[in-house]
Amino acid sequence: MSALFEFCLRMGDNTLVLGHRVSEWCGHAPVLEEDIALANTALDLIGQTQLWLGLAAEVQGEGKSADDLAFLRDAWDFRNALLCELPNGDFGQTLMRQYLFDEWHCMMLNALRSSTEKRVSDIADKAIKEASYHLERSRDTVIGLGDGTTESHARMQAALDYLYPYVGELFVADGHDEAATKAGIAPDLASLRDGYDAALSATMAAAMLTIPDDKFAHKGGRTGRMHTEHLGHMLTQMQWLQRAYPGASW
Amino acid sequence: MSKEWPLWEIFIRGQHGLSHRHVGSLHAPDAEMAIKNARDVYTRRNEGQSIWVVEAKHISASNPSDKGPMYEPSESKVYRHPTFFDIPEDVGAM
């Protein structure tokens, strides 16, 4: 059942890589309250990763665990969207990345609640509550900073200009996605686009930000064809312990 | 314009319908974000059912140095405690 395996990897790698990125803020956020909120978000995403990669490992049937998949694969085996692995940049860029992901994540999880695969709909039922809160928070912050001071507005516009070309990948299906859709496991990715664009337009209008006209989309993360140069660096941090002390456990 | 966000006092109602209790304070730009921050700071371990936030400047407090005139007079008035009544057996546990 490789369509289900591939699908779980893509969901789990999104949350793993983004969760790790967000966790990099721990102890560094501009104010204490945001620091805790970001850490909570990161922990939610890592928790969801355990479910997705746990299911992936189960489906794979090679006796591996979620931890094996998280820590013993190299960059080319990761299946996350490129958006998730991009560097944090400033606080505004982190929150813009979070918002762009959360909006998609909520739509995806909502659709997955009616998956024909019960193990998938169970995960979606649990994750949607966390993702809805992430979305509420990231949307409010994007609006607050976009419609804030001249400085915060300029930073948020720069963040949107930088990140928007990475949004398109979330909606482009390949053979594995088509197989998952056919099996009723997952929705047709392209079918989520209109709702996403409408939500994005409403948020950016409220944030006084301009969505770039160019629809060019960087791709290659979800298929594993080509990640950005940032993922490998991130993995050296995330996986250093297993790389330095293979098999270490505690 | 001050660069600091205003201070908010946070009240949380725990499980089982107890009243809201003051749990601490935090900074936030507005009431809505204060509720979100309170959710993230004070309900991480499943403590809450409901959150109230009040901007600290709206709370009026008694002056600690008025302790004498405010509270000492009641110390000597034990008859204000309802402990001098005989409860009839029929009433049972109160």
- Cα–Cα nearest to A226, from A83, A20, A78: A78
User: What's the pLDDT band for B93 if we cut at 50, 70, 90?
Assistant: confident
Domain assignment of residue A216, yes or no: yes
Angle at A139 (CA atoms; ends A134, A141), nearest 5 degrees: 100
The pLDDT of B63-78, averaged and rounded, is: 86
User: What's the pLDDT band for B91 if we cut at 50, 70, 90?
Assistant: confident
ipTM metric: 0.78
Q: Parallel, antiparallel, or unpaired: how do β-strands B21-27 and B7-13 relate?
A: antiparallel
A204 contacts A160 by C-beta, under 8 angstroms: yes
Domain assignment of residue A197, yes or no: yes
pTM (two decimals) = 0.90
A-proximal residues of B, 60-79, CB under 8 Å: none
Domain coverage including residue A192: 2-244
Annotation: CATH topology of B1-60: Ubiquitin-like (UB roll) (3.10.20)
Enumerate residues 6+ apart whose C-beta is below 8 A from A122: none
User: What's the pLDDT band for B94 if we cut at 50, 70, 90?
Assistant: low
Mutate to test the interface with B, among A25, A32, A33 (most CBs of B within 10 A): A33
Domain assignment of residue A217, yes or no: yes
**What is the pLDDT, as a whole number, of residue A1?**
52
Domain assignment of residue A250, yes or no: no
Instruction: Kindly list the residues from chain A whose CB atom is less than 8 angstroms away from the CB atom of residue B41.
Output: 32-33, 36-37
Task: Assign residue A126 the CATH number of its domain.
Answer: 1.20.1260.10
Position B2 pLDDT exceeds 80: no
CB contact under 8 A, A144 and B32: no
Q: Domain-by-domain residue ranges, chain B?
A: 1-60
CB contact under 8 A, B40 and A36: yes
Q: Going from the first residue of chain A to its last (250 residues), give the mean pLDDT of each consecutive group of 10, the final group possibly shorter.
A: 91 98 96 95 98 97 96 96 98 98 98 97 97 97 96 98 98 96 96 97 98 94 95 97 91
**What is the pLDDT, as a whole number, of residue A151?**
97
Place of tokens 């939610």: A44
CB contact under 8 A, B33 and A36: no
Q: How far is A163 from chain B (nearest CA, A)?
A: 25
Angle at A212 (CA atoms; ends A230, A143), nearest 5 degrees: 85
**What is the pLDDT, as a whole number, of residue A70?**
97
**What is the pLDDT, as a whole number, of residue B15?**
79
Domain assignment of residue A249, yes or no: no
Position B67 pLDDT exceeds 90: no
Instruction: Nearest by CB to B29, from A32, A36, A144: name it.
Output: A144
**What is the pLDDT, as a whole number, of residue B75?**
86
Place of tokens 């629809």: A215
Position B45 pLDDT exceeds 90: no
Q: Is A174 helix (H, G, I), strand (E, B) or coil?
A: coil
- Overall domain count for chain A: 1
**What is the pLDDT, as a whole number, of residue A95?**
98
B70 contacts B57 by C-beta, under 8 angstroms: no
Instruction: Quick: pLDDT tens for A195-205.
Output: 999 999 999 99
User: What's the pLDDT band for B24 if we cut at 50, 70, 90?
Assistant: very high
Domain assignment of residue A177, yes or no: yes
